[in-house]
Amino acid sequence: MTTTGHRTTRLGDLAQLRSGDTVEARRYDTVLYRGQVDGLVAKLGILWLRHGPWQERVLPETTES
């Protein structure tokens, strides 16, 4: 999901994202990660985020189960 101010949008395609976009990775109603897009390979479903106070680089799961 991307967040713009307080607006949340569910993404159907990672190609809609750009480096620096602020996003939340959720499972059901739980926010797993919140941060900025650091890298993206949309064709492979790969998304890296900078998350947390130390700006850790994380690779959230991008497929729904």
Q: Which pLDDT tens digit goes with each residue over 23-64?
A: 888 888 888 888 999 999 989 889 899 988 899 998 887 776
CA separation (Å) from 26 to 30, 62?
A: 5, 10
Higher pLDDT, 7 or 38: 38
Q: Where are the domains of the chain?
A: 2-58
For the chain, what is the HEC assignment?
CEEECCEEECCCCHHHCCCCCEEEEEECCEEEEEEEEEEEEHHHCEEEEEECCCCEEECCCCCCC
Provide the whole-model pTM.
0.72
Higher pLDDT, 12 or 61: 61
Q: How far apart are CA 9 and CA 42, in angstroms?
A: 17
Q: Is residue 10 pLDDT above 80, yes or no?
A: no
